[in-house]
């Protein structure tokens, strides 16, 4: 199949800004984007830099943005994302500096993974024989253990785009993997740490990490599990925890979200006024301020019934 790869080329040491170069490729029916790039490097331009190793979606090293979305190049079939003759845009991962061309500097990624202490920390004497873990626990953990550290979720995380201090989806999915492991003895310390600023409560649930993860880890869902575990363990005084409780409380009461009430319950009266007045004014002048008072909804009882059925 014929296609054109439009590749972002950039060498920060010699170029002031990135450029895009187009390379025509002719691939077999089941050729991947990685096959195309390797063909470009072998036959057309030996200066093209990229990372790859296993070519089987196992090692996680060939993550890059393909048509604007983070993917494994070795798992992306050209015929699935383009019609014959079409152009495919290939760029390095986002949210990370570029070392050269398609090679991103993953220091930020690894720093965040290290920050969640990604290793078991059992307490007490070791058992005489091996640690035994129930099948149910292993089934839960396996989802997070499938992570191949490719960085795709971090590349496309919308919070990391504006706040590089956020621990991010990969590290927090890893955090879940240890906080829910029955062999770990530091569950409470871990939960306390993950509930701090830049932790679990900073995720906006945009779902991008779920969409791009090539291994079904669904990092956002793992973050929600850590949130529930933190609330159950009593870590419910943080702003994020108050926000979640207030959100549910308001919807349960009135059948809809009251944004003003949510801000007051989350921040408290004085702090809400101090912190949110500027945002409120900007929203007002852009005609985006939500109504201060909502009319009651006649069918709110249906929503309350849903809450009762869920036992919350």
The pair of three-digit structure tokens given for residue 128, joined into one six-digit string: 């005489």
Longest CA span, the chain: 69
Residue 69 or 253: which CB sits closer to ligand FES? 69
Q: Determine if 302 is a binding residue for ligand FES (CB under 6 A).
A: no
Select from 59, 45, 146 the least CA-distant residue to 101.
45
284 SS3 class: helix
Among 88, 159, 226, 229, binds ligand SF4 (CB under 6 A): 159
Q: Determine if 220 is a binding residue for ligand SF4 (CB under 6 A).
A: yes
215 binds, among ligand SF4, ligand FES, none (CB under 5 to 8 A by kind): ligand SF4
Alpha carbon distance 159, 143 (integer Å): 23
Across-strand partners of 119? none
Residue 259 beta carbon to ligand SF4: minimum distance, rounded to whole angstroms:
20
Q: Which residues of 94-113 are buried (b: 16+ CB within 10 A; e: fewer)?
A: bbbebbbbbbbebebbeebb
Select from 216, 134, 233 the least CA-distant residue to 181.
134
Among 1, 48, 73, 148, binds ligand SF4 (CB under 6 A): 148
Q: Determine if 219 is a binding residue for ligand SF4 (CB under 6 A).
A: yes
Q: Determine if 55 is a binding residue for ligand FES (CB under 6 A).
A: yes
Select from 142, 137, 149 the least CA-distant residue to 180.
137
Alpha carbon distance 149, 61 (integer Å): 8
Residues 171-200 that bind ligand SF4 (CB under 6 A): 173
Q: Determine if 255 is a binding residue for ligand FES (CB under 6 A).
A: no
Residues 102-131 that bind ligand SF4 (CB under 6 A): none
Select from 129, 229, 211 the least CA-distant residue to 172.
229
* Tally of CB atoms within 10 A around 131: 11
Across-strand partners of 6? 22, 89
Number of residues located near ligand SF4, criterion CB under 6 A: 26
Q: Which stretch binds ligand SF4 (CB under 6 A): 40-48, 141-149, 189-197, 240-248?
A: 141-149
Residue 75 beta carbon to ligand FES: minimum distance, rounded to whole angstroms:
7
55 binds, among ligand SF4, ligand FES, none (CB under 5 to 8 A by kind): ligand FES
Residue 36 or 151: which CB sits closer to ligand SF4? 151
The residues that touch ligand SF4, with contacts defined as CB under 6 A, are 147-153, 157-159, 169-170, 173, 203-209, 213, 215, 217, 219-220, 223
The residues that touch ligand FES, with contacts defined as CB under 6 A, are 52-55, 57-62, 72, 74
């Amino acid at each position: 199949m014929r296609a054109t790869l439009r590749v972002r080329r950039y060498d920060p040491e010699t170029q002031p800004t990135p450029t895009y170069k187009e390379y025509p490729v002719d691939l077999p029916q089941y050729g991947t984007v990685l096959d195309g790039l390797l063909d470009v490097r072998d036959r057309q331009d030996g200066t093209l830099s990229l990372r790859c190793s296993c070519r089987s979606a196992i090692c996680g090293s060939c993550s890059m943005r393909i048509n604007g979305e983070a993917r494994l190049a070795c798992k992306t079939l050209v015929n699935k994302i383009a019609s014959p003759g079409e152009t495919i845009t290939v760029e390095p991962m986002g949210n990370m500096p570029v070392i050269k061309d398609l090679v991103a500097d993953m220091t930020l990624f690894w720093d965040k993974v290290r920050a969640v202490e990604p290793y078991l920390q059992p307490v007490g004497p070791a058992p005489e024989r091996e640690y035994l873990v129930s099948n149910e626990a292993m089934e839960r953990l396996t989802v997070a253990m499938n992570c191949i550290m490719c960085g795709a979720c971090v590349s496309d995380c919308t919070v990391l785009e504006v706040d590089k201090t956020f621990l991010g989806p990969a590290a927090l999915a890893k955090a879940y993997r240890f906080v829910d492991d029955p062999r770990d003895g530091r569950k409470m310390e871990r939960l306390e740490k993950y509930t701090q600023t830049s932790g679990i409560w900073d995720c906006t649930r945009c779902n991008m990490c779920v969409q791009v993860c090539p291994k079904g880890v669904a990092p956002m869902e793992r973050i929600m599990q850590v949130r529930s575990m933190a609330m159950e363990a009593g870590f419910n005084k943080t702003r994020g925890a108050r926000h979640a409780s207030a959100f549910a409380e308001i919807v349960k009461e009135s059948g809809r979200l009251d944004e003003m009430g949510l801000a007051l319950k989350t921040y408290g009266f004085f702090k809400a006024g101090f912190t949110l007045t500027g945002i409120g004014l900007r929203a007002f002048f852009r005609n985006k301020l939500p109504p201060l008072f909502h009319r009651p909804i006649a069918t709110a009882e249906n929503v309350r019934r849903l809450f009762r059925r869920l036992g919350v």
